[in-house]
Chains A and B, each alone.
Chain A
Amino acid sequence: MAVKFPIFMDAQSTTPADPRVVEAMLPYFTQKYGHPASRNHPFGWEAEAAVDTARGQLATLIGARDPKEIVLTSGGTESINLALKGVADMYREKGNHVVTTVIEQRAGLDVTKRLERQGIEVTYVPVQPDGLIDVEQIAKALTDKTILVSVMFANNEIGTIQDIGAIGKLCKSKGVLFHTDATQAVGKIPVNVETMGIDLLSCTAHLMYGPKGVGALYVRRKGPRVRISPIIDGGGHERGMRSGTLPVPLIVGFGKAAEICREVMPEESARLAKLRDRLQDMILSKVDEAFLNGNPERRLPQNLNISFAYVEGESMLMGLNKECALSSGSACTSSTLEPSYVIAALGASAELAHSSIRFSLHRFNTEEEVEWVGRRTIEVINRLREMSPLYELAKEGVDLKSIQWKAE
């Protein structure tokens, strides 16, 4: 099969919508366009039924007992904001301490930074060199003032999957609420809020082949009943937790996306892991001093993150981006030109943080695309290394750390 360019291999920034999702959404724009809160006519009833169906599809995907536990939002960022700010405000009497990690996505870190300015104490647990959180470190961070632990399910850059079940168990035993940012995990790998002891969970449609602009926050109703203060006031929609007219077409698409993900997950994750492993083997067998970032086993099936010593990430992307969409560091941070704080948190040198590339595969990638990207990546790395003074010095046997660098 001929490869069509450009190839999209940046599926942890967003995913293409599945055509079946779009098809499910379409009638809700022009025919079934009622307001789900209109209680007195069939347009409203129809819209409400569609939203309820989607809520059910989402609840099933994450193992929630009750569809009422799904609060619909505008996306992952809003869900995370609502979870963290909502708990911090509601449980202010109980305590003022939150435990999170250094590798949360920016939505998480920016919210906790704001909470700190508002008098909340936040502990940022470090990660081990393979990207995994030591659950013992979370246990040590807990105090009698701790009201919430927030740990991402799977990392957006390195794909590392945390031991969420163990963290959930710990939180339960200490009577502390547990939120997980599962934006990268839901729809890709098994997630179960009941067996994993999750009290709040953030997810988003556009990372699971659904539309952009809709997400959800799971809020546990039983054992314990979690209460959160809203951050948006209005008509009291979503049981007062999130006001605003529900975007019915987007929600229908979100539900359909969840249903498809659940059906295809075993087959799809195996297929993507195989393609990913092929790409990884191709590159690592041909390029010396290329280092896999994150735990090689506990990793999202579609994720591959490699640091290539002596070449800078943006220049690598420049050599690839005409034909292939990849990402260096997080897409959220690449506009700042700062090196990846996630790679840096693994304890890698700052130079390797500047040299990381993320390949992330999706449902519609083919073997031919993987082969093409692998070959092209190797060519670009070799070309840039020929141009790299660091590579030259290293080949001459000079220890780069022994040089007194004159930084600007």
Chain B
Amino acid sequence: MAYSEKVVDHYNNPRNVGSFPKDTPGVGTGLVGAPECGDVMKLQIKVNVETGLIEDAKFKTFGCGSAIASSSLATEWLKGKSVDEAAKIKNTDIVNELKLPPVKIHCSVLAEDAIKAALADYKTKHSAEPAETT
């Protein structure tokens, strides 16, 4: 199977590989997929608590080239978005951008799941913080 140029580019030059310490304020972490299915993505966002904007994002992915590309692209798109805007990223946007073939659509679904999981984690932590400080 031939990969699209964009998938190859993200595979060869993945954007934003890495990790934030999980307990850093403003960091939300999503870990989705399963090793036995051959795909695991960890996606993290770092939200500026003042502005509510995602100022940085990082990923690590165990999976095929399309999974790596989907998560790499997701981190690019997340940066600069508000939490609410980020929630609107759809897997079909990723499919279109990377020209994923039908057998690789699950990679984009997993990337959307990872975004949602990271946002949910951020929201849980963020809403819990004031309670802790009182």
Contact surface of A with B, Cβ cutoff 8 Å: 310-312, 314-315, 318-319, 335, 337, 339, 349-351, 354, 386-392, 400, 403, 405-408
Additional A-B contacts beyond A387-B60, A387-B61, A406-B32 (10; CB < 8 A) = A314-B64, A315-B63, A318-B3, A318-B8, A350-B36, A389-B62, A406-B33, A406-B113, A408-B37, A408-B106
| A319: B residues at CB distance < 8 A | 11
Q: Which of chain B's residues 24-40 have a Cβ closer than 8 Å to chain A?
A: 31-40
Smallest CB separation, B38 vs chain A (Å):
4
| B34: A residues at CB distance < 8 A | 405-407
| B109: A residues at CB distance < 8 A | 408
What's the Cα separation between A339 and B34 when bound, in Å? 13
Interface size on B, residues (CB 8 A): 33
Name the contact of B62 in the complex, choosing from A312, A335, A337, A408 (C-beta under 8 A).
Answer: A312
Q: List 7 A-B contacts (CB under 8 A).
A: A315-B11, A315-B64, A318-B11, A319-B11, A389-B60, A390-B62, A407-B36
| A351: B residues at CB distance < 8 A | 35-36, 38
Which 7 pairs, one residue from A and one from B, show the smallest C-beta to C-beta distance? A350-B36, A405-B34, A389-B42, A351-B35, A354-B38, A314-B64, A389-B60
Kindly state whether residue B1 has any CB partner on chain A within 8 Å.
Answer: yes
What's the Cα separation between A157 and B54 when bound, in Å? 46
Q: Is the CB of B17 within 8 A of A312?
A: no
Kindly state whether residue B41 has any CB partner on chain A within 8 Å.
Answer: yes
Q: Is the CB of A388 within 8 A of B60?
A: yes
Q: Is the CB of A390 within 8 A of B40?
A: yes
What number of residue pairs across chains A and B have CB atoms under 8 A from each other? 84
Q: Is the CB of B110 within 8 A of A408?
A: yes
Q: Is the CB of B61 within 8 A of A388?
A: yes
Kindly state whether residue B103 has any CB partner on chain A within 8 Å.
Answer: yes
Kindly state whether residue B19 has any CB partner on chain A within 8 Å.
Answer: yes
Q: Which secondary structure dominates where chain B touches chain A? A: mixed
| A389: B residues at CB distance < 8 A | 31, 40-42, 60-62
Whether A314 contacts B65 in the complex (CB less than 8 A), given A389-B41, A392-B60, comes out as yes
Smallest CB separation, A335 vs chain B (Å):
7
Query: Closest chain A residue to B32 by CB distance?
Result: A406
Flag B38-65 by CB within 8 Å of A: 1 or 0 each: 1111100000000000000000111111
Whether A315 contacts B68 in the complex (CB less than 8 A), given A405-B35, A408-B109, comes out as yes
What's the Cα separation between A349 and B35 when bound, in Å? 9
Contact surface of B with A, Cβ cutoff 8 Å: 1, 3, 8, 11, 14, 17, 19, 31-42, 60-65, 67-68, 103, 106, 109-110, 113, 117
| B42: A residues at CB distance < 8 A | 389, 392
| A387: B residues at CB distance < 8 A | 14, 17, 60-61, 68
What's the Cα separation between A261 and B68 when bound, in Å? 43
| A390: B residues at CB distance < 8 A | 35, 40, 62
| B39: A residues at CB distance < 8 A | 312
Query: Closest chain B residue to A337 by CB distance?
Result: B103
Q: Is the CB of B37 within 8 A of A407?
A: yes
Smallest CB separation, A183 vs chain B (Å):
25
What's the Cα separation between A391 and B18 when bound, in Å? 12
Smallest CB separation, B9 vs chain A (Å):
12
Most buried by B among A310, A403, A406: A406
Smallest CB separation, B61 vs chain A (Å):
6
| A386: B residues at CB distance < 8 A | 17
Smallest CB separation, A346 vs chain B (Å):
15
| A349: B residues at CB distance < 8 A | 35-36
Smallest CB separation, A14 vs chain B (Å):
18
Name the contact of B38 in the complex, choosing from A312, A318, A392, A400 (C-beta under 8 A).
Answer: A312
What's the Cα separation between A354 and B36 when bound, in Å? 8
Q: Is the CB of A318 within 8 A of B31?
A: no
| A318: B residues at CB distance < 8 A | 3, 8, 11, 64-65
What's the Cα separation between A354 and B40 when bound, in Å? 12
What's the Cα separation between A405 and B33 when bound, in Å? 6
Query: Closest chain B residue to A334 by CB distance?
Result: B1
Smallest CB separation, B114 vs chain A (Å):
10
Whether A335 contacts B64 in the complex (CB less than 8 A), given A351-B35, A386-B17, A387-B14, comes out as no
Query: Closest chain A residue to B38 by CB distance?
Result: A354
Smallest CB separation, A333 vs chain B (Å):
13
| A311: B residues at CB distance < 8 A | 62
| A391: B residues at CB distance < 8 A | 62
Q: Is the CB of B17 within 8 A of A335?
A: no
Most buried by B among A311, A349, A354: A354
Smallest CB separation, B121 vs chain A (Å):
12
What's the Cα separation between A368 and B62 when bound, in Å? 31
What's the Cα separation between A335 and B101 when bound, in Å? 12
Query: Closest chain B residue to A350 by CB distance?
Result: B36
Q: Is the CB of A315 within 8 A of B1?
A: no
| B106: A residues at CB distance < 8 A | 408
| A337: B residues at CB distance < 8 A | 38, 64, 103
Query: Closest chain B residue to A400 by CB distance?
Result: B35
